[in-house]
Amino acid sequence: MPDTSTAIAEIRLLNSGYSREARSLLYQAYRHEPTFAYIFEAERSGYEQRVRATVRELVKQHFFQKLPAIGLFVNDRLIGIALIAPPQRRLGITESWAWQLRMWLSTGVRGTRRYLDYHHAVLACLPSESVHVLPLLGIHPQFQGKHYGEQLLEAVHNWCAEDPHSAGVVLDTGNSRYLEFYKRQGYEEIGEVAIGPILEHVFFHPNPQPLHAATA
């Protein structure tokens, strides 16, 4: 296995051709997350299938609507990904009846409703309509702790800053071990949402200022 601690990471804008790799990576990233464990009832049989189905449907709809996604590669392997919902097209996925029907059939009505409640609660915390939202974000567990998360977020921030309609980036987590990491990356907590017993933290990162603005 290559020494990933010194491997050079490459940033790419992804399309639907990466759907299978994206689904596999995000399933590994989210299967043990507290929020998903509550929403899809980790204590009940079939939990991993419900998580896998949810990730599949979210990624499928994301690429179907041609929404942006940024990938981080090491030795041509996708090891990190951020799905991005731009300000003008943020609600399209969960407002799709086709998406909801597929979710009902694969994860059940209760899991779908819980996910939608969670999604809308996070959106209610947004500081304005003029922000990008990261509905799914992850680094493969084998590559965590090697500063790839910082590289991925930096690429996301720089890409979103190119949009004149965006003031910054919003993400959320119910995993307490990520809180200090996001704060170190310049995120400010702007809201908390109770998802059952899980406290979901909503963070905002303002867009970097363009270089020409600083030197004007």
- Which superfamily does CATH assign the domain made up of 9-215 to? Gcn5-related N-acetyltransferase (GNAT) (3.40.630.30)
For residue 214, how far is the Cα from the chain centroid? 30
State the CB neighbour count (10 A cutoff) for residue 153. 24
For 76-128, what is each residue's pLDDT tens digit?
999 999 999 998 765 556 678 888 899 999 999 999 999 999 999 999 999 99
For 158-188, what is each residue's pLDDT tens digit?
999 999 989 999 999 999 999 999 999 999 9
Q: Residue 97's pLDDT is what?
A: 83
pLDDT at 195 over 70: yes
Q: Is 154 helix (H, G, I), strand (E, B) or coil?
A: helix
**Domain residue spans in the chain?**
9-215
Residues in contact with 1: Cβ distance below 8 Å, sequence separation at least 6, in sequence order: none
CA distance 120 to 98: 18
For 10-30, what is each residue's pLDDT tens digit?
999 999 999 999 999 999 999
CA distance 140 to 148: 10
